[in-house]
Structure 1
Amino acid sequence: MTDISDIRREYTLSGDIHEDMPSNPMALFTHWLEVVKDSNIADPTAMSVATVDETGQPFQRIVLLKRFDDQGFVFFTNLGSRKAKQIAVNGKVSLLFPWQSIDKQVAITGVAEPLSKKEVLSYFVSRPKDSQIAAWVSKQSSPISARNVLDSKFSELKAKFAKGEVPVPSFWGGYRVRPSSIEFWQGGEHRLHDRFLYTQHEGQWDKARLAP
């Protein structure tokens, strides 16, 4: 066994946290995301999405947050992907924003609900054309024999759609994760971290400070 137990540091990059947390966690999330963007972190909207299959086995993967408001957090994906199949069986998911370079994290639990066709179309047409074509190329999570299978299909479809618009694939869509809890974690010296948990209760947000 490789011993890496001596890899450690003090968590001092997050700055001060205020005791008077806002009543709505989305206000705090908006503020933290602005801090992250201003810090020039690569992929500030990257988040881990955890789902569970029919046997209870959890899976995680990184996707990009594309929209958010008081109703929830939105991401897009292939509807034939492993994550989409698992959401169809169990809509309960967890999201994690791992902003390590400023010693902050946001962990969310909630239920993933499919977006309307109108919402999917609105986002799809805003994507770069090559990204639209790529959505047609990949049967996400299915086995392929080699990388050149993707490259050849991409070239074929790029020629096909060279002079026209790219339609939305029927197997492509998105989800809105309606949060039931949102936890804000901020690193502190001596492992005395700050943790604030917001929990939905009858349409209102309850707030509590947690021990680290």
Structure 2
Amino acid sequence: MNQYDFWSPIIVSLQVTLVASIVAFILALFASWMMRIYRFRSKSIVETIILLPLVLPPSVVGFGLLVLFGRNSWVGRGFEWLFHQPIIFTKGAAVLAAVVVAFPLIYMSIKTGFDSIDSEYEDAARSMGANEWSVFKFVSIPLAWRSLLTGYILGFARGIGEFGATLMFAGNIPGKTQTIPTAIYVAVESGNMTHAYYWVLTIVLFSFLLLFCSFRMK
């Protein structure tokens, strides 16, 4: 294995996780806000569905993505018609898998931050004529910024360590969808323990730094 082969999974992991963490953060930010300001009957069911990927085995998440976005589903066929290729076994599939597994963790952190805000500040802004978007942008986000940043960091850490769903949905194509976790799996299977050790050390270092940063935010 040459030097390019060693760095390739690291580069792919960073590319996939950077895009996925941004997408998951934006989705989680608005989902947590919507769940906070709106009251509806099936709210607990919706929130349970949102958090389900946290407790499901990654292989189940990957299987669900295969069914939902596979070539036999209308979603998968629509994507293939739009982009002239299926989404499965592409870098986009790796991003989507990372988004799904990172989203619940980011959502929980952001929701905790919003719930910790004293509602009197938001009510005061509303009483002065601010609409919900202004309250969200100028009051809620600044007051909960630590939780938002912590949520993003934890989501990034979760995304970069994703294995099962990525392997099932995006595959393990070197230079394209092979991330650090899948590269470690292949290296151990093939007996290439040297590269496996270095990749393990790399992802442990990434995870340690990300978690350390999240604790510093508190």
Whether the TM-score (by the shorter chain) exceeds 0.5 is no
Q: TM-score, normalised by structure 2?
A: 0.28
Which of the two has greater helix per residue?
2
Which of the two has greater strand per residue?
1
